[in-house]
Amino acid sequence: MEEVKDKCVIYGTKIAGKLATATGARIEKIIESSHKRGDDIHVSLQRQYEANKDMTITCHHNCVSTYTSSEHI
């Protein structure tokens, strides 16, 4: 399993910038948005999250805001 911590969970290393840490509710929101979008971000994320609800992910605030915004789905 990939355990790289210094890249954005949504856009990987494609976008530079300061990474933030997200937990719990935000992770669930990303998983939910991924389902709606029909991409595969939720596949590994959901598996990891169900195994460990205290997990954290790294991502940019902007990426999460855009990704989970219903206007952009």
Interface with Zn ion (CB under 5 A): 8, 11, 15, 59-60, 63
Instruction: Tell me the closest approach of the beta carbon of residue 49 to Zn ion, in angstroms.
Output: 18
Scan for tokens 């290393």, then name that residue.
13
Of 72, 65, 2, the C-alpha closest to 29 is 65
- Among residues 42 and 60, whose Cβ is nearest to Zn ion? 60
- Among residues 19 and 49, whose Cβ is nearest to Zn ion? 19
- Among residues 32 and 51, whose Cβ is nearest to Zn ion? 32
